[in-house]
Structure formats: C-alpha cells, structure tokens
Structure 1
C-alpha cells in the first residue's frame, strides 16, 4: 500500500472523526458537570466496532448477499413496507424536532423543556450502559449511509492491491483514528477538571445552537429518500 493511499486514508479518517457520532455526542458527554469516563469509552468503542463491522462486510462481499436477497426486496409487499417506513421516518423527524416539540408543549400549556434534558438522560453521567450502547448504535446506523469518506476509504483499501489481513489491519487503524480525537478530548477534560467548565459552558451553548434539530433533519431526509424510492418502484410510470 503506497504512502499516497495511506495519506489519503488518514485525511478521510480525520474527516470522519468530526461526525455527529464520533465527536459531537462524545463532546456533549464531556460538557456534563460530572463526566463518566466509562460511558464515553463505551460509546466510542461501540461506534468503532460498528464501523469496523460495516467495513468488513463490505470487504468480504456483502454485495453477494444483497444479490440473493435483492429479488425478495423488489416485491410489491416489500416496497409497500419500504414506503410505510419512509412515511414513519418523516413523522418521527417532526417528533424529534425541538421546535415542533416546543410548540406542542406550548399548545398544552406546559413550560418549555430545558434543551439539555435529553442529554442528561442519554448522555449524562447517570446514563445506563444499555442507553449508551443504544445511542451509539443509533448514531452509527443513521450516519453510515451518509458518511461518504468512510465508504470511499473502504473502496481505497479494497483496491490497494494488498492481502486480506493487511486490509483488515488498515481498516482497524482507520477506525481507531476516527475515535482518537474524542479520546484526546476526554483526556483533556479529565485533566482540566473544573478549570475548563467556563469554556465548556460557552462551547455547550454554541453547540446546542448549531446542532439543535440536526438529528431530526437527518431522519426526515432519509425518510423522504426511502419513500420516494418506494414510490418510484411501485408506480414506475408516474
């Protein structure tokens, strides 16, 4: 494997390290007044294993499995189920949208929910391991189809002309680089302690503004794409 390919893979891995699951969610955990190292490490570990598994499946020929299952997925029943899934995802995006949630609470006469309430339950120090694992898997599942750098990296590894063992080793190194920045931030947070809290508070406010509703948008867009694909298959002449 050439130095140029390795350099390209390193750059792609660093881009992937800034995704919602690999950086934003761990950073939200680190913004908690009480950081639980175990939860951050488990979150990153689950994501790393998830992406490693996806890469291995692609390398080992998941396309062959798709070729076998594909005809079954082309039936009208399967397409109708796909359309229902797309509609459900679009509806879910409105449920997740914090602005829509605020309007629903206002109509019922309820006070605004604190923006960080869901973070405490899912990302705070008191989050249970099943919740941490579930959040990590959900983040990976939502992001994997849109993480073009990762898919491109797998393609580079496969076409690099090296053996399977080397491919797997390089893929493992790629995934390690993906989660490394968040682990560095964890070490800095643990070392800095309360001295970092003022800066973290400002960063949390900025992050809340920039990421509010991001997950809802992602879910909604995926739902629209899934639904349109189903409609195109069910009504080819439409």
Structure 2
C-alpha cells in the first residue's frame, strides 16, 4: 500500500468517525450519570464496526462483478434520465433534511438524535438489554450507511488499488477500527480524567446534535448535485437543448 493511499484512507476514516453512530451516541453513553457504561459502549461500537466491515467486504467483493454487469448500461438513455431524476431528487430532498418536526400541539418533536439517545441510555422508560443494544447499533449503522460517502469512497479506492484480497480486507478492518477510535479515546479519557473530559464531551454533544441534520443535508445535496451533473454531462441532446435556450 502506498503512503498516499494509506493517508487518504486515514483521513476518510476520521471523517466517518464523527457521525452520530460512531461518536454522538457513545458520547451520550459517557455522559450518563453514575458509572461509565464501558461494556455497553464497547458492545455498541463493536457492533457498528463489525457491520460496516461486513458491508465493506460485501461491496468490495461484489464490485468487480457488478461493474461487469453494468458495463454499457450507464450509457443507456433511460438509465441517464433515471440518474438525472435521482440526482435532482436528492438535491431537493437535502433542503428538507434536518428541519425540526412539530407535534400536533405545535411543540417541537424530539429529533432522530434525541430518540437514539433515549433508547441507547434507557431513558423515557425504555430498557435496552444486550440484544436490544446490538439491534440499536445495527439500526444506527443502517440509517447512516447510505450517506457515509467517505466510506464508500474508501471502498472504491481499495477496489482499484491493485492490493491482494487479504490486504484489502485488512485495510478495511483497520479503517473500521480508526472509525471508532475517537470514541474509544474519549472512553479512556472519561475513565482516567472525567473532570477534564466531561466539559469537552458536553460541548461535542451539543455541537453534533445542533449541526448533525445540517451536515447530513450538505452531504445528500452534494451527492445529488454530482449525480445530476454526471448525467447531464453524458446527455448531449440535453446540453444542445440548454445551449439553444441560451
């Protein structure tokens, strides 16, 4: 593996480590009153990392066969129109992501992050045993996997890197470990220096809860724009039509 590839994968993994599944929910575990729920947090992070590793390996091994099957299909006019509609749809949808919802009485409804927190910490009368905790971790990972563009980009880089299969799987495993590493570092800090770490955890939790929806909206919007732009660039008849309007 080249230094450039390793560095790129490291940066992408650190970006992925800031999601609500890999950082925000673990921070809420650490902010729970009483003893630090070390076991629950390790089960949660281990499940999330294992899920992403499984998805990554499946995509990695299926990428070559999928590309062979799709060869030529991407230039089909019907496919290009569908791609354009998808891109525009994602771009429009991004304007509505993260908007606060309201209950029937007009009060602001709890957001998705708040609901995850309540379930993860057993708040609001909920109880989450080991099986429920694993299910919660899988649900959090599945909700995010479609918008984790850095992870999908890392899989694409590994698929075209020329590395052997064991090397690709090993790199992906390290990627998933780095993805949960910041949460593990905060856990260690909380155990040995909680007075110093708690204010930092509070600030991170407030910032992520406030900006989480906005970050997701930006990711979805950029993805939609890139998909639509790629479709338009491969539709000469549409480009000619737009030139005619100008």
Shorter-chain TM-score: what band?
0.5 to 0.7
Question: Can you give the 5+ residue segments of structure 2 that lack an aligned partner in the other structure?
Answer: 70-92, 222-246
Structure 1 window deviating more from structure 2 (112-121 vs 9-18): it is 112-121
2:184 matches 1:187: no
Partner of 1:80: none
Equivalent residues, number? 191
Matched, 1:124 2:121: yes
**CA shift digits 1:181-237 (9 cap, x unpaired):** 1100111112223564455445544444444x679979x99xxxxxxxxxxxxxxxx
Quote the residue 1:22 is aligned against.
22
3-state SS of paired residue (2:101): helix
Change (3 A) 1:32 1:217: farther
Taking a change above 3 Å as real, the CA distance of residues 136 and 214 of structure 1, as seen in their structure-2 partners, is farther
Report what 2:137 is aligned to.
136
Q: Which residue of 2 aligns with 1:170?
A: 171
Secondary structure of 2:104's counterpart equals: helix
Structure 1 spans left out of the alignment, 5+ residues: 68-89, 222-238
Q: Does 1:37 align with 2:48?
A: no
Evaluate the alpha carbon distance shift between residue 32 and residue 214 of structure 1 in structure 2; reply closer, same or farther with a 3 A threshold: farther
CA distance in 2, matches of 1:157, 1:209: 34
Please state how far the C-alpha of 1:142 moved relative to its aligned partner.
Answer: 1.5
Decide whether the 8 Å contact of 1:48 with 1:179 is kept in 2: yes
Larger deviation, residues 111-120 vs 129-138:
111-120
In structure 2, distance between residues paired with 1:98 and 1:39: 31
Q: Deviations over 1:89-115 (max 9, x none)?
A: x9xxx9xx89535x3356xxxx98888
CA deviation string 1:94-143 (max 9, x = no partner): 9xx89535x3356xxxx988889745642217632222212211121121
Of residues 195-204 and 153-162 in structure 1, the stretch that sits farther from structure 2 once superposed is 195-204
Contact 2:28–2:117 under 8 Å retained in 1: no
2:11 paired residue number: 11
Report the secondary structure of 1:61's partner residue. helix
Query: Is contact 2:158-2:168 (8 Å) kept?
Result: yes
Residue 52 and residue 180 in structure 1: after superposition, are their counterparts in 2 closer, same or farther (change >3 A)? same
Q: 1:191–1:55: structure 2 CA closer, same or farther, 3 Å change rule?
A: same
